[in-house]
Chain A
Amino acid sequence: MTTQTGTFPYMRRAEKSKFLSWALTTDHKRIGILYLVTAFFFFLVGGIEALLIRLQLAAPGAEVLGPDAYNQVFTMHGMTMIFLGAMPIAIGFANYMVPLMIGAKDMVFPKLNALSYWMFIFGGIFMYSSFLLGGAPDKGWFAYAPMTMPAYSPGMRMDFWALGVIVLVVSSTVGSINIIVTILQMRARGMRITQVPMFVWNMLITSFIGVFAFPSVLVAAALLLLDRQLGTQFFNTGAGGDAMLWQHIFWFFGHPEVYILILPAMGIMSEVVPVFSRKPLFGFTIIAFSTAAIGVLSFMVWAHHMFSTGMSQIALLFFAADSFLIGVPTGIKIFSWLATMWGGKIRFTTSMLFAMGFIVMFVIGGITGIHVASVPLDWQVTDSYYVVGHFHYVLFGGTILGFLAGLFYWFPKMSGRLLGERMGKLSFWTIMIGMNMVFLPMHYLGLAGMPRRVYTYPADAGWAFWNMFETWGAFITATGFLFIIINIVMTLRRPATHEADPWDGYTLEWATSSPPPPENFDSLPPVRSRRPLWDAKHPDMADTH
């Protein structure tokens, strides 16, 4: 019988050193924690960049950064949050939780798992080293041609972008393949694919989206390098190429990427909401189908990022209609969570508060998403702060709040300690007030004509008050995260309680000790429904009755 936990031959020697035992680990729980800690660090760096952006924009004519540094900082803010923050946090949660939730003892390819982590951290350090080597990428995270061509972007900045993207998407592709095969092949006896927890199902769909979307941006980055270094003409319209080709290849990845960022958080929602409502997830099958529908539709909407590029009428109609359509499965999820809470015995834990915050914030981001999906409205607001407000409600109000719900929900499993609830609630309200102060006025500023990606604005434009207001909001949000860091540090200093199942959970990760032993389970309850642990604890009320 093959063993699933791969160890390097020199592992025994490594175990004596604490550093080496982490650096050489192939245990999915340790790699998950490495992912989460590293990604959280990058998330804080991206957050500091956001604060610098807000300081620069606080008043008209401010000179905190200046135009060149501003372009680098907003580009790296986007790259960091997407590639080094949100995506690896999702992979970190998946790494830790997917094997536990399906009753496996590790990921299916433990060494590949370590490889994807080390490629991720290398890609992050590589991209950030550009700051010391002639400047960071400065053309925005989607790096439009021809701005990235040698004529407009001399030096190595965009080469750092392209090479960094290549390393990071190869890492994510490897991670996605690992997650897919783990879920398809490693489930506990009796757990059918239709019975996996919703977080696991969402990670399966997310990983498939990744496997199909990442090659596209890999090609985009490779072609950009060829254009810059070897003289090909892919994006040079004057020499037979096409600058629009970049936008098509990039967004064919870029839009699915948005769902890669939100679906893991939606998976966390579908775990947290039922457990704290004391009810099973409402419409499990429908939610599962809606995730799959989002996965398919996400590949058919990419050109809605390009409405203002002079596409044909029929293309505009097609992509607008598809973009409206993708709102339907998303709405189904919202209704299912609400219906799960309806009539439930809701426990207002910090985790549940963040989940409820997600619902409200994501609905705002979703509705403005429908706005920008309609072509005439998009022509008015494209490249304005309206769009910035929209996607921050989705990515911060959705993805980040979902991750925070997951942090408070699963931290006891990972550390054996419950995070402080009072401090948690304080951080929740601080972040909610702060984020709405930052992102809500952006819609107004966008409608008032403020373009995105400008480093300053005239004093008589009438944008000064709300910009100052947003900057205050940004620092309030940052204070909220400071509370979370203090909470984590203080909790880790307390002795562990090792409570296996503090939330009275439904799924298998709560059926083992906190933190779990190296191979996760000594024994598993029988899996006959979607809530195996509930069935085991309440045989009289089991779902299978």
Chain B
Amino acid sequence: MSEEIYPIHEAYVPQRDNNKMGFWVFLSGEVILFGTLIGSFMLFRHRNPEQFAEVTATLNIPLIALNTFILILSSFLVVRALESLRNGSLKGLRLNLIGVLVLGALFLGGQAYEWIELRNHGIWLDSAFGTPFFTTTGIHGTHVFIGLLWVIFILIGIGKGAYSKQRFHGVEVFGLYWHFVDVVWIVLFTLFYLI
């Protein structure tokens, strides 16, 4: 053995950076998940052009455009929430996150309204349009719902003193998730409603 021995270091990289990197890797897998779903939607459209043209014409685009705006606004609030926390304002963090909670719930409400409308028009899971449409937007909606649970989790954490000017990384990672879900929605809105 060599004479030269290095001491063991506790950690070479702070754990919070590891959490963030792990989450990025997770999100790269999510890209494949939504990519597969979107690919299936495109295949169904290619196979059933008439039905897709017909249903797309009846979609409530103003409602969903409003929904898209709501989701983008909520992403903006997440940015502000993190900003407030880094400036040391727990009140700002709490208010902005409550805003996210309200906007996210509005988004899900809008989506539920749209689904009921479509169902009343006879478009449901067993149709060629409905099969990929409800599945993809449903899985996206589930992501929004999980995000809202996460917000509630953070709000409870604020009360327990889990966040401070220095400890903002939990909110930062939540922000990554929320922005990702937002971006996915913008892609879905473009592909499913506008094109």
Contacts and interface: CB of A to CB of B under 8 A. Distances in A.
Interface in B31-61: 32-33, 36-37, 40, 43-44, 47-48, 51
A234 to B, nearest CB: 6
B141 interface: no
A215 B36 contact: yes
B29 A211 contact: yes
A211 B28 CA distance: 8
Interface stretch (B14-22, B68-76, B84-92, B181-189): B14-22
Nearest to A174: B26
Contacts of A525: 1-2, 4-6
Contacts of A240: 44, 47-48, 51, 127-128, 131
Contacts of B30: 215
Interface residues of B, number: 44
Given A234-B40, A523-B6, A526-B6, A181 B25 contact: yes
Given A173-B29, A189-B9, A239 B128 contact: yes
A288 to B, nearest CB: 20
A522 interface: yes
Nearest to B40: A245
A223 B135 contact: yes
A105 B44 CA distance: 50
Contact of A212 (B9, B13, B28, B37): B28
A241 interface: yes
Interface residues of A, number: 54
A497 interface: no
Interface string B82-104: 00000000000000000000000
Contacts, number: 137
B156 to A, nearest CB: 19
B126 A232 contact: yes
B2 A535 contact: yes
A130 interface: no
Contacts of A252: 36
B36 to A, nearest CB: 4
B195 interface: no
A242 B47 contact: yes
Given A108-B18, A211-B29, A4 B36 contact: no
A184 interface: yes
Nearest to A237: B47
A387 interface: no
Interface in A209-250: 211-216, 218-220, 222-223, 226, 230-234, 239-242, 245, 249
A86 interface: no
Interface of A: 1-4, 105, 108-109, 173, 176-178, 180-181, 184-189, 211-216, 218-220, 222-223, 226, 230-234, 239-242, 245, 249, 252, 519, 521-526, 535-537, 539
Interface of B: 1-2, 4-18, 21-22, 25-26, 28-30, 32-33, 36-37, 40, 43-44, 47-48, 51, 125-128, 130-132, 134-135, 139
29 contacts: A2-B11, A2-B15, A108-B15, A173-B29, A177-B25, A178-B22, A181-B18, A185-B21, A186-B13, A189-B6, A189-B9, A211-B26, A211-B28, A212-B28, A214-B29, A215-B32, A219-B33, A220-B36, A223-B135, A226-B125, A234-B132, A239-B128, A240-B51, A249-B36, A249-B40, A523-B7, A525-B5, A535-B2, A536-B2
Given A219-B36, A220-B36, 16 more contacts: A1-B11, A2-B11, A108-B15, A180-B22, A181-B22, A186-B18, A212-B29, A216-B32, A230-B125, A232-B134, A240-B51, A241-B44, A242-B44, A249-B40, A523-B5, A524-B6
